[in-house]
Amino acid sequence: MASSEPMDIEPEIDDSLYSRQRYVLGDMAMKRMAKSDILLIGLGGLGVEIAKNITLAGVKSLTLQDNEICSLQDLGTQFFIKETDVVNGLNRASACANLIAELNPYCKIQTIEKDVDTSNLSYLDTYNCVILTECPLNVQMTVNEYCRSKSPQIKFISSDVFGIISSTFCDFGDSFEIFDADGEELQETFIDSVNQSKNGVVQCIEHARHGLETGDYVTFKEVKGMTELNNTLFQVKTIEGDPSSLCIGDTSSFSKYEGGGIMKGVKVSKTVQFESLSTQIQKPSIVYADLSKFDMPSTLHLAFITLHKYIEEKRKLPRTWSGEDGEEFLQIASSLNGSVCDKIEINEEVLLKICMTAGGCLAPMCAVIGGIVAQEALKAVSGKFTPLKQWLHLDAIEVVDEGDCKIFEQKNDRYDLLRTCIGNKILDKLQQLRLFMVGCGAIGCEMLKNYALLGVATTSGCVTITDNDLIEKSNLNRQFLFRPRHIRKPKSVIAAQSTRDINPEMNIEAHQQKVCPETENTTYTDGFFTSQNVCVNALDNLTARRYMDSRCVANQRPLLESGTMGPKGHVQVIYPFLTESYTSQRDPADNDVPYCTLKSFPQNMDHCIQWAREKFQSSFTSKPSAMNKFFQENPDISIVTSRLLSGSVVDGAVVVAKILRNQPSNWADCVKFTRLKFEKYFNHRAKQLLHIFPEDTKLKDGSAFWQSPKRPPRPVLFNLEDPVHYEFIRSGAKLYADIYRVKYLKKDMERENIANILKNQMIPEFRPVRKEIETSEAAKKPSSAETFDADSLSQTAEIIRDRMEGITRPSLNVLDFEKDDDANGHIDYISAAANLRGAMYSIEKEDRLKIKRIAGRIVPAIATTTAAVAGLVAIELIKVVKNSSLEHFKNAFINLALPQFVLCEPGAAPKRKLNSGLEFTLWDRLELNGSQSTTLQQFIDMFKAKYKLEINMVVQGAKMIYMPYMPTHRKRLQEPLVKYANVTPDKNYVDLLVSFEGAEEDEEAPPLRFYYR
């Protein structure tokens, strides 16, 4: 046994490396994983995918067992094996162990260079989970029985990819505990009422949806009257047709409900039981995935058993497209049908395709299953999420080319395993492909690896990638093409280099630009898009997705769209004239929090976090930026003060005067100023609010003003011994020192030194002021317009003159919010401020990690989901190259936590028919050919002659070219159309929108492209 030793450390959780994964898995699962040991047998294409994902996740150790020597064919699926490894005849596990170890210094990588010896399996006793790939079925059964015989039982997973199909089996023993079945964040709901009944019904406030299911558990807090509910666990039963009410059992003996209260879901662990492989072979429990192929899982199960039987009898895999082997395969399948599994109607066409491609290996399928199996292994050692029970069979039979068997002839190169699955014609098209991918993050890295294994753009063509981001440490946990030595380097450049390491033949061009309207007429023009065969999104925001979708639709290019959020992922195929586009389905609308809620009446910690984030933006970004801008625009201070003293308004002067008046000159000033902010934010504001609305305030209808969900505030009394109070002062003073360029030492921020600074500070007493507080949820945030009178202008002039004496132009350090640098104090400040505001409103304290996620708008991510989604995209890429029909494409929706897999046919491009009879889809555009001298009238006549419609409006973007009721536009009819259009030198056309006589108000014609050759 060889090993690759990691850093000699305790199994701690590195927040900067694992931050996004922690948002998904949580500390308990991470700590259990950090103490677990996993054995992985088989280091082919599937094995290396599993190894990559498990290592990135951060288990204590991963042992790689394999007795195979690196071969030329391995290069087509095993991305950590190099050509030199093949030449030198290295063992597969040893060849890739060091590269796998590079992925995570906290994971110990060991190797075993021998086959599984079923006569002595005692070495398995040291592992928490054993994963088998590329093992005979009898070996799988023997190992499974051994794992079940141990106490505690060793978790067992077996998985294989044969050509275009895959099979995965899980057995986690007779009693496996799951502490969190779905990973969903628990929801809090304000309640409106609870009745006293044998079937007590809870009604949520304002008919809010509780989001619970029958059998879930809840607890209550802050309930008045029926206090028996508080801190008590109840199992719920939902009420059909009423998503805002539920039953919690007998409440007839409880006190009468008086008001208030919050209901919150509670995670309750559950235990599940698994059966052995030998039992499940005959009576399989299969997870169904493809909604259009309900009979396929049973066929795949039979095919899986048949393949193992064939290998056992023939000592080989079936030859590619061998008629003799196919007949023997069908005979074995027929003999097994009904004996080792339920009898099914045999689909010979499907079984023959499986048989004839079984000797190959589809690398994207390895990626999909590698992500799924790795996540199952993490479930096995952590208890987080629901395990697979117990089989998952997936296929990609649609990628197989139809035609003469000669197209599958082998060439003894790295693509033989792929060629066996898809044939030479499709492979040639892949090698000549022009592909444009936007984004080189987590999904982008996985995509590029898949392109390299598929041989994309290796003979001609080109893969163009773009990403304007730099590599950060937090990226390394799931963006596997990057290493610590790459930090602060461009993602696209390093991704391209790392991809060439996998396949040196690839043609890759790396850009560092955004794809946006600003680059539409320079880099990513219509000509650029039309030169691409396919576009791929590897993005993490909706705005960029929508823009790419619009560009692909406008230029009639296929687009493969995907995304992940924690264990969830989606894939969408967008294909010209066949499918709907990304924007055909509306994204859920963002629920904006009312201004009055954020300002004065927060209901939960999310509101407090948003308030704190806005305070950071105002104090450390907007105000310093405004001051810098003011003095750039007003370099002569004497002119500014003269204008103010004469009664003239100078924009921004009042804000600048306030900043100058409070400007600290040393560290002690920064500390004292932050202490004053504490009193203002968390003490005086509470007193002011209660001064205007005392706790006994009534509304016009006689009901209490302070009723759920409004919470009356409580002034917070400063106590430096409280860790949250100290953190607010420490981080706030640091940030003020940073923007004012005040020097300080690390010891200055210690509690004792801060206490010495504050011990003699005088804190002003609260004085109520006349001030209206907005209570309407419909009200918008008021503008921050400055108010002026002669006295305020005079005071402003004096402050600016006094503070700026002898200073030419001040320059504050503007702090742009950065969530990933824990040393900068940004999250520390927001976390402390949010929790202090929460304390003021009796809202429970939240941990820093959650606050960081919400304030930083971080999308939770794990490598397993990313790998699976990228693999599904690559399978669809092959279909795009093949020019598949609509029913062969698959949109995908997965949730590895449940686990749930839904593959379905994409939505067809909806057809629209205008009253005129013109029928079109979103992909269609009208076209007219003219010249630079074509007049507007001639253009209108040409349109009428071709489409039998009378134009009454011509628009280009936001520019109005022709509207007949505008007098000046009638004069344009005899002028060239291009005179009034925005034209660019690199185009010989303009894209226009037209409307016509007789159209309904909501009728919108397809876009029109006018060529002026």
In the structure, what pLDDT confidence band is assigned to residue 550 with cuts at 50, 70 and 90? very high
Model confidence, pTM = 0.92
Tell me the C-alpha distance between 708 and 190, whole Å.
Answer: 7
150 assigned to some structural domain: yes
Residues paired with 572 in a beta bridge: 561
Neighbours of 554 (CB within 10 A): 16
pLDDT for residue 232: 96
Same domain, 794 and 645: yes
pLDDT for residue 732: 98
pLDDT for residue 434: 98
Helix (H, G, I), strand (E, B) or coil at 205: helix
CATH no. for residue 33?
Answer: 3.40.50.720
Strand order, beta sheet including 951-956: 926-930, 1008-1012, 989-996, 951-956, 959-962
Render pLDDT for 54-75 as a digit per residue (tens, 0 to 9). 999 999 999 999 999 999 999 9
DSSP run (H or E) holding 646? none
CA-closest candidate to residue 56, choices 663, 653, 475, 629: 475
What average pLDDT does this structure show over 459-487?
92
Tell me the C-alpha distance between 713 and 691, whole Å.
Answer: 11
Alpha carbon distances (Å) from 31 to 55, 127, 950: 15, 16, 71
Residues across the chain: 1013
Whether the Cβ atoms of residue 627 and residue 807 lie closer than 8 Å to each other: no
Neighbours of 51 (CB within 10 A): 28
Whether the Cβ atoms of residue 510 and residue 493 lie closer than 8 Å to each other: yes
Burial class (CB in 10 A: 0-12, 13-18, 19+), 547: buried
Residues paired with 955 in a beta bridge: 960, 993
Question: Mean pLDDT of all residues in the chain?
Answer: 92
Render pLDDT for 727-751 as a digit per residue (tens, 0 to 9). 999 999 999 999 999 999 999 999 9
Tell me the C-alpha distance between 879 and 867, whole Å.
Answer: 19
Instruction: Kindly state the percentage of the chain with pLDDT values over 90.
Output: 78
CATH no. for residue 652?
Answer: 1.10.10.2660
pLDDT for residue 14: 54
CA-closest candidate to residue 876, choices 659, 633, 575, 600: 575
CA-closest candidate to residue 716, choices 866, 854, 836: 836
- The one-letter code for the residue type at 522 is T
1002 has pLDDT over 70: no
344 assigned to some structural domain: no
Same domain, 551 and 607: no
Exactly one of 341, 366, 445, 596 is catalytic; which is it?
Answer: 596
657 has pLDDT over 70: yes
Highest mean pLDDT, choosing among 209-213, 437-441, 777-781, 855-859 = 437-441
Render pLDDT for 680-710 as a digit per residue (tens, 0 to 9). 999 999 999 999 999 999 999 999 999 999 9
In this structure, what is the dihedral angle of CA atoms 313, 318, 319, 320, given to the nearest 10 degrees?
180
Whether the Cβ atoms of residue 65 and residue 139 lie closer than 8 Å to each other: no
For helices 790-803 and 637-645, give the axis angle rounded to 10 degrees: 160
Whether the Cβ atoms of residue 416 and residue 73 lie closer than 8 Å to each other: yes
Helix (H, G, I), strand (E, B) or coil at 992: strand
Same domain, 794 and 818: yes
Per the model's pLDDT, the better-predicted residue between 951 and 92 turns out to be 92
Helix (H, G, I), strand (E, B) or coil at 912: strand
pLDDT for residue 7: 44
Residue spans of beta strands (DSSP E) within 267-373: 270-272, 286-287
Whether the Cβ atoms of residue 681 and residue 616 lie closer than 8 Å to each other: no
DSSP run (H or E) holding 118? none
6 has pLDDT over 50: no
Render pLDDT for 562-604 as a digit per residue (tens, 0 to 9). 999 999 999 999 999 999 999 988 765 556 789 999 999 999 9
Q: What phi, psi does 985 have (nearest 5°)?
A: -60, -30
Q: Write down which residue in 218, 239, 266 finishes a domain.
A: 266
Look at strands 462-466 and 508-511 and give their pairing.
parallel
Same domain, 650 and 793: yes
901 has pLDDT over 60: yes
In the structure, what pLDDT confidence band is assigned to residue 447 with cuts at 50, 70 and 90? very high
For helices 92-102 and 45-57, give the axis angle rounded to 10 degrees: 30
284 assigned to some structural domain: no
Whether the Cβ atoms of residue 260 and residue 707 lie closer than 8 Å to each other: yes
pLDDT for residue 789: 63
- The one-letter code for the residue type at 884 is S
Render pLDDT for 123-151 as a digit per residue (tens, 0 to 9). 999 999 999 999 999 999 999 999 999 99
Domain count, the chain: 5
Render pLDDT for 864-879 as a digit per residue (tens, 0 to 9). 999 999 999 999 999 9
Alpha carbon distances (Å) from 817 to 589, 615, 926: 25, 11, 47
In the structure, what pLDDT confidence band is assigned to residue 1001 with cuts at 50, 70 and 90? low
Q: What phi, psi does 761 have (nearest 5°)?
A: -75, 135
Residue spans of beta strands (DSSP E) within 117-255: 129-133, 155-162, 165-171, 176-178, 188-194, 201-204, 217-221, 234-235, 237-239, 242-247
280 assigned to some structural domain: no
Tokens of 762: 């005088």
Same domain, 79 and 155: yes
Tell me the C-alpha distance between 592 and 612, whole Å.
Answer: 16
Residue written as tokens 């002021």?
769
Burial class (CB in 10 A: 0-12, 13-18, 19+), 745: exposed
pLDDT for residue 9: 42
Render pLDDT for 392-405 as a digit per residue (tens, 0 to 9). 999 999 999 987 77
What average pLDDT does this structure show over 781-790?
66
DSSP run (H or E) holding 309? helix 296-314
Tokens of 369: 């299953």
Whether the Cβ atoms of residue 1013 and residue 972 lie closer than 8 Å to each other: no
374 assigned to some structural domain: no
Tokens of 198: 């044998």
DSSP state for residue 146 in the 8-state scheme: H
Helix (H, G, I), strand (E, B) or coil at 151: coil
398 assigned to some structural domain: no
Same domain, 885 and 949: no
1000 has pLDDT over 70: no
Per the model's pLDDT, the better-predicted residue between 322 and 412 turns out to be 412
CATH no. for residue 924?
Answer: 3.10.290.60
CA-closest candidate to residue 431, choices 398, 396, 464, 463: 463
pLDDT for residue 10: 43
What average pLDDT does this structure show over 942-967?
89
In this structure, what is the dihedral angle of CA atoms 905, 907, 913, 914, given to the nearest 10 degrees?
-170
Tell me the C-alpha distance between 783 and 518, whole Å.
Answer: 29
In this structure, what is the dihedral angle of CA atoms 131, 498, 512, 428, given to the nearest 10 degrees?
-90
Residue written as tokens 């895999």?
317
What average pLDDT does this structure show over 226-252?
96
Same domain, 558 and 616: no
DSSP run (H or E) holding 308? helix 296-314
DSSP state for residue 972 in the 8-state scheme: G
Q: Is the peptide bond before 899 cis (omega within 30 degrees of 0)?
A: yes
Render pLDDT for 805-814 as a digit per residue (tens, 0 to 9). 766 667 899 9
pLDDT for residue 586: 73
DSSP run (H or E) holding 658? helix 653-661
Per the model's pLDDT, the better-predicted residue between 126 and 797 turns out to be 126
Domain that holds residue 260: 188-266
Written in H, E and C, the secondary structure of 798-840 is HHHHHHCCCCCCCCCCCCCCCCCCHHHCHHHHHHHHHHHHHHH
pLDDT for residue 11: 44
Same domain, 661 and 799: yes
319 assigned to some structural domain: no
How distant is the alpha carbon of residue 598 from its chain centre? 27
CA-closest candidate to residue 284, choices 342, 344, 336, 339: 342
Whether the Cβ atoms of residue 558 and residue 576 lie closer than 8 Å to each other: yes
CATH no. for residue 208?
Answer: 2.40.30.180
Tell me the C-alpha distance between 321 and 356, whole Å.
Answer: 5
pLDDT for residue 588: 59
pLDDT for residue 948: 85
Tell me the C-alpha distance between 643 and 399, whole Å.
Answer: 75
Instruction: Kindly state the percentage of the chain with pLDDT values over 70.
Output: 96
* Residue 96 annotated to the active site: no
- The one-letter code for the residue type at 777 is E
Same domain, 142 and 100: yes
Q: Write down which residue in 153, 178, 203 finishes a domain.
A: 178
Same domain, 496 and 577: yes
- Start-to-end CA distance of the chain, whole Å, equals 72
Same domain, 528 and 659: no
Tokens of 448: 């590029």
Alpha carbon distances (Å) from 478 to 19, 88, 299, 645, 849: 11, 31, 35, 60, 18
219 assigned to some structural domain: yes
Whether the Cβ atoms of residue 889 and residue 906 lie closer than 8 Å to each other: yes
Longest dimension (CA), the chain: 103
Same domain, 667 and 781: yes
Q: Write down which residue in 158, 178, 198 finishes a domain.
A: 178
Whether the Cβ atoms of residue 437 and residue 463 lie closer than 8 Å to each other: yes
pLDDT for residue 591: 65
